[in-house]
Amino acid sequence: MTEDGTGPWIFDEYSKGNWVKLHANSDYYLTQDYIENRLAEMFHFGAGDVDSNGIVSTMDALLMARALGTDSSYPHGNGWNEYNPDCDLNGDGVIDALDLAVVLPNYGKTMG
């Protein structure tokens, strides 16, 4: 079964409950980098997976704790009292309770 597509991917075949095979639509107007970044955002960004390892874990909570209360004017890094842009889940330039509120409900969940 083959279908035409106008999006970034065109369906090729599947095995129910196991896998789906797609191929890139070379006529799609968005770049490969844009698509890959969007896929990363869909599976990690905003879900609290700060270190993008596929699961919201103790390390994500620790990274948030280290950066909590900092803003983009602080030194950048993942040490204590350093602004970590990966922890700024809502992109407002401040690591605060709003960012932490994303991590906690997703703790223990697998992304992707």
CA-nearest of 100, 10, 112, 105 to 50 is: 100
Cα dihedral 33/37/39/41 (nearest 10): -170
Please check whether residue 20 is in contact with residue 14, taking contact to mean a CB–CB distance below 8 angstroms: yes
Taking only the tens of pLDDT, the chain with its 112 residues reads: 445 556 778 888 888 878 888 888 877 777 778 777 777 666 655 578 888 888 889 999 999 999 999 999 999 999 999 999 999 988 899 999 998 888 888 888 887 6
Please check whether residue 63 is in contact with residue 50, taking contact to mean a CB–CB distance below 8 angstroms: yes
Tell me which architecture the domain covering 43-106 has in CATH: Orthogonal Bundle (1.10)
In single-letter form, the type of residue at position 43 comes to F
Residue intervals of the chain classified under CATH 1.10.1330.10 are 43-106
Spatial separation of the C-alpha atoms in residues 10 and 22, rounded to whole Å: 5
